[in-house]
Amino acid sequence: MLRDKNKTLIPEGFLFSVGEAAIKKPGRKDIALIYSMTEANTAGVFTTNRVKAAPVKLDIEKIKSGKGQAIIVNSGNANACTGRKGMQDAAETALLTAKNLKIKPSLIYVCSTGVIGTPLPMEKIKAAIPLLTTNLGRHTLRNIASAIMTTDTFPKVISKKVKIKNRTGILAGICKGAGMIAPNMATMLCFILTDIAVEKRTLSRAVRDSVRKSFNRITIDGDMSTNDTTLIMANGMLGNAEIKENSASYKIFKEALDEITYGFARLIVKDGEGATKLIAIEVEGAADEKEAEKAAFAVANSNLVKTAAYGNDANWGRIMAALGYSGIKFNEEKVSIHIGNIKVVNNGIGTGKDAEANDYLKKNIEVSILIDLNKGAASAKVLTCDLTEEYIRVNAEYRT
């Protein structure tokens, strides 16, 4: 079982490399390469924004094959809204990487993150690619996570051991994201790697369902990116029988994948631009899951709720107002609200415990808000964060 120098578990057969292309500014690693020593079954989920970056358009076509072997990713420039030239640059990046790796261009996925509307500095990227391929194996998964950060304040890495019958495989991944976080998907890049053999269609279904329950239930600022991409590569080097959806090992694999994507979802919200609190909003007692999710997102996206949380003000009236405009049907006289374990609303009326709830907000950086509609049996949880002055500063200065 492989571990890198940061003690991160590494799936068999994956190599990593980072480099400096000075895409936005010099002095930091900003381009990275993930390489599987053998072809891998590959699946992905992409932004649903109508405006899609060039690499997203390219990868959406490539993912149809269900195969991949490498991911090249840059930070500092999103290669979005760059027209035909942007598509040519994304394709050329894949072609040059394939040439240096001596594999087919169809097996190379290209990802970008950063400023929208600025052409890629292709001469710098072309100069960096040969060094990336030469240095494969000299860097760690954490190095990749650091190289793809934009406004993130820390690299996000998760790895897990997974027992598949008498063998132990690894699921490991990285992600980036701290702003423009809203479904579908949340704004982010996420790459998950495993040495476990998983059938192509099963892998695709698994990652789509995991994304639905994790990245599609977080929001920081209600803005959706042009570059959102989650890719998973399963190279099968563990040597297990290929997992299919109806096999005994599928549940074990899927639970581990769910834990990783949900773990990343929490890390992204925790690292929300300028955030001081992670807020879990759970709606229960809804008529169905769709209504529960809709209500939870209305509260999670309310700037009034988010600023109240930042100010340690248990202003539950803002929560009720957000529920009211969420578009779902409910009886306000049956609603109960807990902030932490403090019931601030019972049957639509305040309980007089706002001061206690204020105290709870002051003492906790992870906050829970539970809303019971008392209408049905469905529930949904959405993660968000508070809204602070720092969020404005970070985004006002993003291009400078």
Mean pLDDT of the chain: 91
Burial class (CB in 10 A: 0-12, 13-18, 19+), 212: middle
Q: Does residue 40 have a pLDDT over 80?
A: yes
Taking a C-beta distance cutoff of 8 angstroms, is the pair 106, 69 a contact?
no
Taking a C-beta distance cutoff of 8 angstroms, is the pair 200, 43 a contact?
yes
Higher pLDDT, 154 or 40: 40
Give the whole-angstrom CA distance, residue 283 versus residue 285. Answer: 7
Give the chain's domains with CATH numbers. Answer: 2-270 (3.60.70.12), 278-396 (3.10.20.340)
Q: Does residue 95 have a pLDDT over 60?
A: yes
Give the whole-angstrom CA distance, residue 367 versus residue 278. Answer: 6
**pLDDT of 341-382, one tens digit each?**
999 999 999 999 999 999 999 999 999 999 999 999 999 999
Output the pLDDT for position 153.
84
Average pLDDT over residues 162-187: 76
Output the pLDDT for position 175.
93
Output the pLDDT for position 195.
98
Question: Please, which pLDDT band fits residue 185 given cuts at 50, 70 and 90?
Answer: very low
Higher pLDDT, 132 or 223: 132
Output the pLDDT for position 259.
97
Planar angle of CA 389, 390, 393, nearest 5 degrees? 95
Q: List 381's β-bridge partners, or say none.
A: 282
**pLDDT of 253-293, one tens digit each?**
999 999 999 999 889 888 777 788 999 999 999 999 999 99
Output the pLDDT for position 299.
97
Output the pLDDT for position 388.
86
Catalytic residues: 187
Question: Please, which pLDDT band fits residue 204 given cuts at 50, 70 and 90?
Answer: very high
**Predicted structure pTM score:** 0.85
Q: Does residue 184 have a pLDDT over 70?
A: no
Give the whole-angstrom CA distance, residue 69 versus residue 133. Answer: 13
**pLDDT of 205-231, one tens digit each?**
999 999 998 888 887 655 556 888 999
Output the pLDDT for position 180.
45
Radius of gyration of the chain (CA): 22
**pLDDT of 310-342, one tens digit each?**
999 999 999 999 999 999 999 999 999 999 999
To the nearest whole percent, how much of the chain has pLDDT over 90? Answer: 78
Helix (H) or strand (E) holding 168: strand 167-176
